[in-house]
Amino acid sequence: MKIGIVGCKGRVGTLLVNEILAGNWKGATLAGGTVLPEDMKGKSDFFITTDAEELFKKSDVVIDFTSPTATRKHAKLAAKHKKALIVGTTGLSPADEKELAVAAKNTVIVQSANFSVGVNVLLALVERGAASLDEDFDIEIFEAHHKNKVDAPSGTALALGKSAASGRKVDLKKAADYARHGETGKRKRGKIGFSVARGGDVVGDHRVFFYGEGERVELSHIATNRSLFARGAIRAALWTKGKKSGLYSMKDILGL
C-alpha cells in the first residue's frame, strides 16, 4: 500500500517516514508527504508537496497527526478521492468528529486518540473495570505530557473518561470534573475526575484510579518512545485494505 504522511516533518510525521523507509513493514511503501511552504527547501529522498490534494491522489491511505483545522480539510479530501485516512490528531471537537463521521460515509477512516496498542488495551480494561466497580468506587484519571503539548486533558485521557463513562452507562459530559480550585466542597458521587501535568519531555503517562473504601485499583500506561504511535498508525493503515467505508477505531483493528 502506498502511504502518504501529511505533516511529514512534524514530531510524529518524521517517525512515520522513518518507519516506512526503514522497510520495517511488509507491503508498505511511502507515497510522499506534505510540508508547510517554509519547510519546502533542500532535497528529499521522497515526494514532498505543500498541496495535500496532490498527496491524496498519489496515496492509497494517508496518515494524519496534524491539527484539527487541517484534519477537517483532509477528511473532505479523503472522501472526495475515496482514499483511506488514519487520524491521530488530538484536540478534536465534537464538530470535528462529526466531520469525520460524514466523510466516513464515502471512505474508510480510522480515528483514535492514541494508536498505542497498550493504551487501547487499557481503554478496554477501564470500561470493564468501571462496569464491575459501582459508584462506591470514585474514578480519577491522571495524565502527564511534555511541556509543548497544547491541549488538556489529552485526547487519550478523554478517551479513558469515555471508556469509564461507557462502563458506568453515564454521559461523560455530565459526569466529568475537569477542574478543582478553592473551596470545592465534598466530592460528588459518580463524578469522573481529571488531573493534568505538563513538563519536560514526558512522552505520555496515563493512570486511572478506582478509589474504594479500604482499597483502590490502579490501571496505567506509560509511553517511553513516540515510535509506538507511528507503529500503531502504520498497522492501522495496512488494516484498511479492502475494508468497507465507515468510521473505525483501534478497537476494530485489535478485535477488542
For the record, the C-alpha cell of 121 comes out as: 488495551
H helical segments located in 82-211: 94-103, 117-132, 155-168, 172-175
Alpha carbons within 13 angstroms on the beta-carbon side of residue 218 total 6
Strands (E), the chain: 2-6, 29-34, 48-49, 61-64, 84-87, 108-111, 138-145, 176-177, 192-198, 204-211, 216-223, 246-248
What are the phi and psi torsion angles at 215 (to 5°)?
A: -160, 160
Backbone phi and psi for residue 98, each to the nearest 5 degrees, phi listed first: -65, -40
- Give the residue numbers annotated as catalytic, written as ranges: 145, 149
Integer Cα distance of 3 and 23 in angstroms: 13
Cα separation, 29 vs 19, in Å, equals 10
Q: Answer yes or no: are the C-beta atoms of 3 and 31 closer than 8 Å.
A: yes
Q: Are 70 and 85 in contact (CB under 8 A)?
A: no
What is the residue type of 45? D
